[in-house]
Amino acid sequence: MFLQQARWRKPYRIPYSLRRRIRYTPRRVFSIRWWRKSYLDNPLQPAKGRGEDTYVQVSWEQALKLIHEQHDRIRKANGPSAIFAGSYGWRSSGVLHKAQTLLQRYMNLAGGYSGHSGDYSTGAAQVIMPHVVGSVEVYEQQTSWPLILENSQVVVLWGMNPLNTLKIAWSSTDEQGLEYFHQLKKSGKPVIAIDPIRSETIEFFDDNATWIAPNMGTDVALMLGIAHTLMTQGKHDKVFLEKYTTGYPQFEEYLTGKSDNTPKSAVWAAEITGVPEAQIVKLAELMAANRTMLMAGWGIQRQQYGEQKHWMLVTLAAMLGQIGTPGGGFGFSYHYSNGGNPTRVGGVLPEMSAAIAGHASEAADDGGMTAIPVARIVDALENPGGQISA
């Protein structure tokens, strides 16, 4: 059951739901403790051949003793910054029994640790967005779907495959977002899907969407070609840019080629992206003539210079001047965890926190780092004793 307009409604059935396809979920509680044999034989000099060792069963008492001894040895010898207290990728959805939080709470009580910064999902976007819009944006509340269905005239899906990714979430999902995309399809609104791959989402919309397939990694060039067309045709919102943004004059110098002798025209963009010039011009005109919602996924920023993709898309939305209008602007989370669903107004139970009052981390006091970029743990494991830049 779910609440809609102050009335309880029966849950809808989604024919393409992943949950409906899963009939049985195996459950098992592992109560046996296993340890690498070479570690038990010599904790300070494990045998070579990581991943090839045999495992032996130990008691809870022995397991806890081994953990305590090594934790105490490393902390005394190297300080708290030498202890990495886990990434975010292993967890329980519960507010009390999340293993990562409990581990970090314990490490904070013991004197601190080195944590991680960023995540694997939005590592580039979440770094640049606070400088562009004031928040990470990728995990913020989106313009709600009812507003989009009522007010948006054109919806652009840029580098996203929601028919696949909305079947998962950070914890669990009821897949309501899938139903909203189904309603978008039924609405008959023009949908532009920009993706080098003909994804499940493009197959889902079929003739209800226009598929544009730029060359891989050329999204910014395509956005620049659209932006240049808006500017040369006088269809960019000068009032909005003057009132609500900073830096546009400098950007326009780059866009026109005044700063580097290379105008970022539709012709220029076509050569890079493989998208015909006429289609780029038509896309710009369509966006400017209608209330347009630009929805973008995260895949486009998981590459070199990935931060430029979302930065430029916000710039394009600002040129259209529709940010803040019902059904206009941009959003970076419609493809994930039911982004765009109306926000609940009820109370939410807080989680157990890893932070401990009066127990500030001492990791910085011993000259070490308090956090490392989340993906650098792989480099650290592959290069023991090495020097690794941030």
Q: Give the pLDDT score at 88.
A: 76
Secondary structure letter of residue 45 according to DSSP: S
Q: Which of 12, 55, 60, 90 is catalytic?
A: 90
Q: Decide if 33-119+353-382 and 125-331 have a common fold.
A: no
pTM of the model: 0.85
- The Cα-based distances of 374 to 127, 131, 333 in angstroms read 13, 21, 21
CA 260: distance to chain centroid?
A: 33
Which residues does residue 296 pair with via DSSP β-bridges, in sequence order?
158
User: Sign of the C-alpha dihedral, residues 298, 304, 307, 310?
Assistant: negative
223 contacts 212 by C-beta, under 8 angstroms: no
Q: How far apart are CA 270 and CA 67, in angstroms?
A: 59
Q: How far apart are CA 217 and CA 236, in angstroms?
A: 25
Active site residue 106: no
Q: What are phi and psi of 84, to 5 degrees?
A: -95, 115
Q: How many CB atoms lie within 10 A of CB 343?
A: 8
Q: Which of 16, 35, 88, 106 is catalytic?
A: 88
Neighbour-count burial of 89, counting CB atoms closer than 10 A to its CB (0-12 exposed, 13-18 middle, 19+ buried): exposed
In what side-by-side order are the strands of the sheet with 154-158? Answer: 209-212, 191-194, 154-158, 292-296, 329-331
Give the CATH number of domain 33-119+353-382; options: 3.40.50.740, 3.40.50.920, 3.40.50.360, 3.50.50.60.
Answer: 3.40.50.740
- The Cα-based distances of 373 to 19, 120, 170, 311 in angstroms read 34, 10, 20, 21
Closest CA to 191 of 218, 164, 154, 221: 154
The secondary structure of the chain in percent helix, strand, coil, rounded to multiples of 5, reads: 40, 10, 50
String of b and e for 197-215 (b: at least 16 CB within 10 Å)? eebebbebbeeebbbbebe
Task: Tell me the domain boundaries of the chain.
Answer: 33-119+353-382, 125-331
Render pLDDT for 29-66 as a digit per residue (tens, 0 to 9).
555 666 677 777 777 776 666 667 788 888 889 989 99
Render pLDDT for 239-285 as a digit per residue (tens, 0 to 9).
999 999 999 999 999 999 999 999 999 999 999 999 999 999 999 99
Active site residue 90: yes
- Give the three-state DSSP class for 171: coil
Q: How far apart are CA 112 and CA 369, in angstroms?
A: 11
Q: Give the pLDDT score at 42.
A: 72
- Give the three-state DSSP class for 191: strand
Q: Give the pLDDT score at 368.
A: 47
Q: Give the pLDDT score at 186.
A: 95
Which residues of the chain have a pLDDT value below 50? Answer: 360, 367-368
Give the CATH number of domain 125-331; options: 3.30.428.10, 3.40.109.10, 3.30.70.330, 3.40.228.10.
Answer: 3.40.228.10
